Amino acid sequence: MTDSKIQQQVRLTLPAQADYVDLVRLTLYGIASKIGFCYEEIEDMKVAVSEACNNAVLYAYNQDGGMVDIVFDIGSNELGLTIRDEGSSFRAEQETQELLGWHDKSIDEVEAGGLGFYLMQALMDEVEVVSIEGRGTEVRMKKRIQQFSEELR
Amino acid sequence: MSTNHFAVVTHQDGQQITIQLQGDLDLAASGEFRSFMEPLVTDSTNQLTLDLSKLTYIDSTGIGILISIVKVRKAAEAPFFVEHIPSQVQKLFDMTGISKFLTSSQ
């Protein structure tokens, strides 16, 4: 995310536990409102950032005490989100291959799980996952204000 | 604004059981919700309905639980309905493709 348009940064470091993911959504709501995102765009980003945090909570650490960093890169009409853990057991490559929804599947073929990355891709403008064995996983996402994107055309 | 703590409200009328979901159904709430639903889902003599009118948020964890319920109820040929889906939740249902597996009683 080397974007010259980025003006400010907010960082949040939380225990990699499910009970803290709602704090990420609250913070996101505050920041995205300030930038001028509409309700629907904020709801989209809430899901995307939570899915990334859920993965850190569920897969990154084998023991308690792990942390997850969330960086909000505030642009004038876009928001960058980076979700970073220092865990070792994340199956990023495996997980990101499941980028399909359940549209063409029958009920017997559908299995719970595997939708997190699919939703991130569907809800954000850009998603990038970098996972380094033994050093953790970083998910970088970006969303632009729709109204602004349309004006650019 | 505050966090939307997850809660369920049960309405029972004979064999008709309606569960109203309130607040955020996320990873933190998923264990509690799954345990709460299990005896209701496995009892195929009831008619089970989820009322989502007060559901403020759902993620893939919650959607995963819903699809598990659909599968169990279908295998048991037991009635299961999902009603009053808020627009932002409906969008996620359409996006993931779970919509086609959900039925409304209305």
Number of domains chain B is built from: 1
Long-range contacts, B44-47 (Cβ 8 Å, 24+): B44/B73, B44/B76, B44/B77, B44/B78, B45/B15, B45/B78, B46/B15, B46/B16, B46/B17, B46/B78, B47/B15, B47/B16, B47/B17, B47/B78, B47/B79, B47/B81
Residues A12-68 pLDDT 10s: 999 999 999 999 999 999 999 999 999 999 999 999 999 999 999 988 887 778 999
Residue A123: the pLDDT is 96
Domain A6-152 adopts which CATH fold? Heat Shock Protein 90 (3.30.565)
Q: Identify the CATH number of the domain in which residue B11 sits.
A: 3.30.750.24
Asked if B99 is an interface residue toward chain A (Cβ–Cβ < 8 A), one would say no
**Residue B77's domain spans which residues?**
7-100
- Mean pLDDT across B4-15: 95
Mutate: best of B24, B26, B63, B91, partner A, most A CBs <10 A: B26
A7 vs A22: CA distance, rounded Å = 25
Q: ipTM of the predicted structure?
A: 0.90
Asked if A12 is an interface residue toward chain B (Cβ–Cβ < 8 A), one would say no
Residue A94: the pLDDT is 56
Select from B27, B97, B98 the Cβ nearest to the Cβ of A21: B27
Is residue B2 in some structural domain? Answer: no
* Percent of chain A at pLDDT exceeding 90: 57
